[in-house]
Amino acid sequence: MKAFFSDHQSRHAPALELQNGALVPHAESQARVDAIKSVLPDLQIPADFGLDPILAIHDPAYIDFLKRAHNDWLAAGRPGDAFPYVFPVRGRRPLNLSRIDAELGQYAYDCGTPVAAGTWETVYWSVQSALSGLMHVLNGAQRAFAFCRPPGHHAGRDYMGGYSYLNTAAIAVAHAQANWVGRVAVLDVDYHHGNGTQDIFYDRGDVLTVSLHADPKMDYPFYWGHADETGSGQGNGFNLNLPMPRGTVWSDYKTTLQQALERVEAFDPELLIVPFGADTYVGDPISFFSIETADYTEMARMIAALGKPTLICMEGGYALDALGANVSAFLKGFEG
C-alpha cells in the first residue's frame, strides 16, 4: 500500500495546550511524526493540488484567517502561539471583527488548537497528502494511506478545534465527487467523534458518515456525536453515530464495528474513506478505550472485507511508544 507524507507537515509545532485547567505540553507533536515514520520508510511525496480542493469545503474567510493568524498575533505584540480566550455566545449575530483575539474566538471552539508559526504550511500539505492518496485510489489502486498530520476530523467549514484545522477527509470526499465518484462513505474509527465531518455533510444524502467513538456524554467533543444525530433534510438517515463507554474492549468494539460495516455495505459506496485514530489504544494518555495493538489488524481486515476502494487518513493517537506499532498493525490488516 502506498503511503503519502510531506516533510512540510513537520512545521506545525505548538508548544502548549489548555487541558483540564492547566497549560500542558501539546500532545500533537513532532514525536508523533517520528513514531509513524519509523514504520513507514517508503513514504511518497505528495503532489500539490493547490487551494481549490480546500475551498470546495472550507469558507474562504476562514482560510484567509488560517494563513495570516500567527503573523497577526505577532504583529499585535503577542509571543508564542496564537491562542483564543473568548468565544461568541451561541445564537448571537456574527460580527465583522478585525482584532486577532476576536477572530481566534470566532474560528475556534477550544483552547487546545493554537495557531503556530508553521501551522498553515503543515495543514496545507496534510491536505495534499490526502489528495495524493485519493488520486492513487481513483486511478485504480485498491487502497492508500495518507499520513495526515495534524488530525482533521474535528474541523468544520469555518472552525478549528481538537487539534484539527482543515478537514482532510471531507476535502477528499469533495475532490472525489468532482472526479467521477458519486456515493462516498466515511467510516471514522478515531476515539473521538468526527464532529467536523458530520457537520459538513449533515444534510447530504450522497455521503454517508459513520463514527465509532467515545460517548460524548463523558468525552470530547461533548456537544456532537450523540446517537440521535442522524442527519437533516436530504441527509436524514445518512449519519450514524455509535458512541461507546470508556473502557470498551475489542470484543465489544468489534460488535459495534460490525454494525457500522453493515450500514456502509447497505449504502454501497463507490469509495470508502477511513479516518483512523490509534487513540483507541489501551495506553493512550488522553483517551480511554482498551484496544490492543493486535486488535488493529483484525479491525482493518473487517473494513477491508467490504471490498471497496479505500483511502485511510491518519487522525489521532498519542501513546508514542506504541503509535508506530499500532499504525503498522492497522495497515497490515489491509494488506492481508
Distance CA 326, CA 317 (A): 9
154 is catalytic: yes
Average pLDDT over residues 130-155: 98
User: Are the C-beta atoms of 82 and 70 separated by less than 8 Å?
Assistant: yes
User: Are the C-beta atoms of 82 and 104 separated by less than 8 Å?
Assistant: yes
pLDDT tens, position by position, 4-35: 999 999 999 999 999 888 999 999 999 999 99
**Reported confidence tier of residue 336, pLDDT bands at 50, 70, 90:** low
pLDDT tens, position by position, 160-205: 999 999 999 999 999 999 988 999 999 999 999 999 999 999 999 9
Catalytic residue among 12, 26, 154, 193: 154
Distance CA 113, CA 83 (A): 8
Distance CA 160, CA 183 (A): 26
Is pLDDT larger for residue 21 or for residue 119?
Answer: 119
For position 29, what pLDDT does the model report? 95
User: Are the C-beta atoms of 57 and 49 separated by less than 8 Å?
Assistant: no
For position 96, what pLDDT does the model report? 77
CA distances from 323 to 66, 92, 158, 258, 314 (A): 28, 42, 30, 24, 11
Phi then psi for 211, rounded to 5 degrees? -135, 125
Distance CA 208, CA 195 (A): 14
pLDDT tens, position by position, 49-92: 999 999 999 999 999 999 999 999 999 999 999 999 999 887 77
**Reported confidence tier of residue 94, pLDDT bands at 50, 70, 90:** low
Structural domain boundaries of the chain? 2-13+29-47+116-335
Average pLDDT value over all residues in the chain: 96
Distance CA 127, CA 280 (A): 23
CA distances from 316 to 27, 115, 120, 236 (A): 10, 18, 19, 28
Residue 206 neighbours by CB under 8 Å, 6+ apart: 177, 182, 183, 184
Cis peptide before 46 (omega within 30 of 0): no
The pTM of this model reads 0.97
- Closest among 220, 192, 127, 163 to 14, alpha carbons compared: 163
DSSP string, 225-238: --TT----GGGTT-
CATH superfamily of 2-13+29-47+116-335: Histone deacetylase domain (3.40.800.20)
